[in-house]
């Protein structure tokens, strides 16, 4: 059903319906600047982008969409537009580009058969880039909504039970107190009634609230529906005449292998299209910009000035979908729970500062009258030293290693369990508000569609057999087919874990050799600060290596998952997350585990020391224990990763990519072209593609490990995590709203495999903190060695 005309649009003269992209309407007459077709009535629900080549005469090969007058038949043909030098000669076009063009035409023809409406635009300000605008009419939206079992609001309303008596008064007081920190957006929590939602059915349209059909399916839902059509629409017709003497069935199979038969994802992977994305609702900058959800999110969420406000979770879900909405809801709950942990951590730190002068072990070490002489720290080159020289380290160690640390370790173990239960409660509440109950059955039906790469492998397997006697649909990949990939995964993961251990071992050798070198230094300050210098430089080396290997391991984990060829997108995502987390967990925590549980255990005794390679004597903990060194190690790695990897990279790299993409797309423009405002799809094309939520979750999960696993050594870790997350929420929000193309909305009722990972870290944190408590209660000063 066409959308009603807008008053800011000039309706063009009646033009033959078959010339959909040849309407001579001034683009600037469209007040939405690219949000609608050139007729100003049909809304653009999705954009396909492709690259093409122009000749030196700058003539355009305009492939016009035709609709055959006969009912039920639609086709895609090409017509050369004559220029000043005559028709464009395509005889010298590259065969590869011509093959891509033919596959695009076939795919778009299939989209027309699926009921979508297309319009192409090659006359843009981006050189060599063409756009295909896609619109889903009303009948297609209804059909797909029924197939996807989308829950839509019905006419029936029901009242939400309100609190009464004392509880009502308490809620009203809390609402008044929290009003300044609430975002100024429409919130479902303020409503006393809710519409009943039900899976859409074309036969029961009278049950749904169809008073405004234009807004019944919002932009998020429309783009989701179109994306599902793009995924399952295939490109599988044979291209006859491209090789004489071929049999029809052989040409068909080869064409299916080339085109993919898998939809838009395969065509993107093979370069037939360069991008595919839904449009943002509009601009977010400027006073004269029409108010839209994107602008509201930018003003009330994606700004650092709103750091003290709650997140507009329901508007985030409305604009980006449930999966992204759940990520920010989880991040908000996690950040909120860090507030009490930060307060307790500050109290523990202040208690250590106030009682440092009453700590008997450090007082004895600092007493000059004891005059305790210690054995050399290394052979031949090191001399004897006084215990009183470690006075500063012992006093500083009391800031973190004090009686309150035992209480803090117990508190953080309980805190991790409370956080998980609080999130489960919040998640169930969101499931009810967002009508996600009973989503498992829908997920099994809709998301079980095989991935493009899986179907390609199945097709190759069927081609190796006699495909005339065995249907391809009966084929599937077995464990025997994946055995080489499994072996490659196993060997590669073992190799990378071994590489991490080897690097940590290399840093240990560096620490031992550097300590020996500084011990014979002619500088008195160098000899007195050996431990601090060695520890600080070794931690910085560890930090640099961790950041580099993190990026490397992420790419390797994706490659290992791809060669496994998982069947569904959900299986692919879970396997990728597991591999990436395993590698990054080992990479980030191995240096810390060494200091916490292994350093100082295998030293030996005077006259019988333990050596590495018969030359390097194993290093010892400081006289005050390894806790202070563990604190330095944890704080530098945690803060360094948050500052460099999580914040600097997230800000700098997308902006650099955007700048280089902008320079690459520049071309000389004539005067009338430079005065034309860019269309919405051109502006969004310059944004960074959405790469998924895995990197966002990963950095927070690693931080959660820093906060819970070794928190006894660094009580201020929750405070620094809280400060980082306050910035991280707004940084991610700004990135999603202003820096990234709008992602396709994905339905989800939980955070998936991440919850199981969080539970595993929580249980490991209990074990490690119990070890710390045992060491501290026994009176041991070496963390994990008491």
Q: How many CA atoms lie within 13 A of 21 on its CB side?
A: 23
The strand pairing partners of 198, in sequence order, are 152
The strand pairing partners of 158, in sequence order, are 194
CA distance 420 to 413: 11
Tell me, rounded to whole angstroms, the distance of Cα 759 from its chain centroid.
20
**Which two three-digit tokens encode residue 688?**
């960074």
Altogether, the residues listed in the chain come to a count of: 786
Which residues contact residue 89 at a Cβ distance below 8 angstroms, ignoring those fewer than 6 apart? Answer: 55
pLDDT of residue 54: 58
C-alpha triplet 335, 345, 699: angle, nearest 5°: 40
List pLDDT tens digits, range 130-168. Answer: 899 999 999 999 999 988 888 888 888 777 666 677 877
pLDDT of residue 623: 66
CA distance 130 to 135: 17
pLDDT of residue 440: 62
- Which residue in 741, 629, 727 sits closest to 687, CA to CA? 741
List pLDDT tens digits, range 674-724. Answer: 445 778 888 888 888 888 898 889 989 999 998 988 877 788 889 999 999
- Which residue in 200, 201, 220 sits closest to 150, CA to CA? 200
CA distance 706 to 589: 8
- Which residue in 302, 321, 304, 305 sits closest to 227, CA to CA? 321
- Structure letter (DSSP) for residue 711: G
Question: What are residue 75's phi and psi, to 5 degrees?
Answer: -145, 165
CA distance 417 to 421: 6
**Which two three-digit tokens encode residue 594?**
């060494």
Top pLDDT among 276 and 101 is at: 276
pLDDT of residue 714: 84
CA distance 431 to 425: 10
Residue 780 binned pLDDT confidence (cut-offs 50, 70, 90): very low
What's the whole-number mean pLDDT along residues 54-68? 42
Residue 653 is inside which H or E element, if any? helix 649-664
Cβ(698)–Cβ(722) below 8 Å: no
pLDDT of residue 168: 75
Q: How many CA atoms lie within 13 A of 557 on its CB side?
A: 23
**By mean pLDDT, which of 40-44, 90-94, 649-653, 769-773 is the weakest?**
90-94
Residue 779: left if φ>0, alpha if ψ -120 to 50, beta else—which one? left
Alpha-helical segments (H) within 565-626:
569-593
- Which residue in 599, 598, 596 sits closest to 401, CA to CA? 596
Residue 448 binned pLDDT confidence (cut-offs 50, 70, 90): low
Q: Maximum Cα–Cα distance for the chain, whole Å?
A: 107
- The top-scoring range by mean pLDDT among 68-77, 78-87, 230-239, 480-489 is 480-489
- The model's pTM is 0.82
CA distance 368 to 717: 34
List pLDDT tens digits, range 585-635. Answer: 999 998 888 887 777 676 666 666 777 766 667 777 766 667 777 888 888
- Which residue in 251, 150, 239 sits closest to 198, CA to CA? 150
């Amino acid at each position: 059903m066409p959308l009603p005309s807008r008053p800011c649009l000039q309706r063009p003269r009646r033009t033959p319906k078959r010339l959909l992209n040849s309407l001579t309407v001034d683009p600037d007459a469209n007040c939405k600047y690219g949000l609608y077709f050139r007729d100003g009535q049909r809304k653009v629900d999705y954009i396909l982008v492709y690259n093409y080549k122009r000749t030196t005469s700058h003539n355009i090969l305009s492939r016009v969409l035709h609709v055959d007058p006969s009912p039920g038949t639609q086709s895609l043909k090409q017509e050369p537009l004559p220029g000043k030098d005559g028709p464009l000669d395509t005889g010298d076009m590259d065969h590869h580009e011509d093959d891509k063009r033919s596959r695009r035409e076939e795919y778009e023809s299939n989209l027309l058969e699926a009921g979508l409406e297309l319009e192409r635009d090659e006359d843009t300000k981006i050189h060599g880039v063409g756009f295909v605008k896609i619109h889903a009419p009303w009948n297609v939206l209804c059909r797909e909504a029924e197939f996807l079992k989308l829950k839509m609001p019905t006419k029936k309303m029901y009242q939400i039970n309100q609190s009464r008596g004392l509880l009502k008064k308490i809620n009203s007081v809390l609402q008044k107190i929290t009003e300044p920190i609430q975002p100024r957006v429409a919130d479902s929590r303020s409503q006393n009634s809710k519409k009943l939602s039900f899976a859409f059915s074309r036969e029961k349209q009278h049950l749904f609230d169809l008073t405004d059909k234009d807004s019944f399916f919002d932009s998020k839902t429309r783009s989701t529906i179109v994306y599902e059509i793009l995924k399952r629409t295939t490109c599988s017709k044979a291209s006859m005449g491209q090789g004489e003497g071929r049999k029809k069935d052989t040409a068909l199979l080869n064409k299916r292998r080339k085109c993919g038969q898998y939809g838009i994802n395969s065509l993107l992977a093979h370069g037939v299209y360069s991008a595919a994305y839904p449009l943002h609702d509009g601009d977010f900058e400027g006073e004269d910009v029409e108010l839209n959800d994107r602008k509201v999110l930018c003003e009330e969420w994606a700004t650092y000035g709103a750091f003290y406000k709650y997140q507009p979770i329901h508007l985030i879900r409305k604009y980006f979908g449930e999966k992204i909405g759940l990520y920010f809801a989880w991040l908000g709950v996690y950040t909120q729970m860090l507030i009490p942990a930060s307060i307790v951590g500050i109290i523990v730190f202040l208690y250590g500062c106030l009682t440092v002068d009453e700590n008997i072990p450090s007082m004895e070490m600092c007493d000059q009258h004891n005059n305790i002489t210690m054995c050399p720290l290394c052979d031949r080159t090191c001399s004897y030293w006084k215990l009183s020289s470690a006075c500063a380290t012992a006093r500083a160690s009391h800031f973190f290693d004090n009686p309150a640390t035992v209480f803090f370790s117990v508190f953080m173990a309980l805190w991790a369990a409370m956080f998980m239960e609080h999130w489960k409660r919040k998640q169930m509440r969101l499931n009810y508000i967002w009508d996600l109950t009973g989503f498992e059955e829908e997920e099994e039906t809709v998301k079980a569609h095989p991935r493009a790469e899986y179907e390609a492998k199945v097709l190759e397997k069927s081609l190796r057999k006699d495909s005339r006697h065995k249907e391809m649909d009966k084929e599937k990949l077995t464990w025997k087919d994946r055995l080489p990939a499994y072996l490659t995964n196993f060997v590669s993961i073992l190799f990378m874990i071994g590489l991490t251990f080897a690097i940590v071992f290399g840093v240990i050798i560096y620490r031992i050799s550097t300590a020996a070198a500084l011990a014979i230094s002619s500088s008195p300050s160098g000899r007195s600060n050996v431990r601090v210098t060695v520890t600080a430089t070794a931690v910085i080396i560890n930090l640099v290596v961790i950041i580099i290997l993190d990026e490397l391991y992420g790419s390797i984990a994706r490659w290992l998952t791809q060669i496994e060829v998982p069947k569904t997108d959900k299986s692919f995502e879970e396997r990728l997350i597991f591999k990436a987390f395993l590698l990054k967990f080992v990479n980030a925590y191995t240096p810390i585990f060494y200091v916490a549980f292994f350093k100082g255990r295998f030293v030996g005794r005077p006259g019988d020391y333990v050596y590495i390679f018969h030359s390097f004597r194993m290093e010892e903990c400081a006289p005050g224990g390894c806790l202070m060194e563990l604190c330095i190690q944890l704080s530098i790695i945690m803060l360094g990763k948050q500052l460099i990897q999580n914040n600097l990279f997230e800000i700098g790299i997308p902006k650099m990519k955007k700048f280089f993409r902008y320079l690459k797309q520049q071309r000389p423009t004539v005067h009338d072209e430079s005065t034309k405002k860019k269309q919405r799809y051109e502006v969004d094309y310059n944004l960074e593609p959405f790469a998924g939520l895995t990197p966002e979750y990963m950095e927070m999960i690693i931080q959660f490990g820093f906060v819970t696993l070794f928190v006894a050594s660094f009580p201020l870790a929750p405070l620094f995590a809280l400060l980082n997350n306050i910035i991280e929420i707004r940084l991610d929000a700004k990135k999603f709203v202003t820096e990234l193309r709008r992602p396709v909305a994905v339905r989800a009722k939980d955070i998936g495999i991440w919850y199981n990972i969080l539970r595993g870290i929580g249980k490991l944190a209990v074990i490690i903190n119990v070890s710390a408590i045992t060491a501290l209660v026994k009176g041991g000063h070496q963390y994990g060695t008491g």
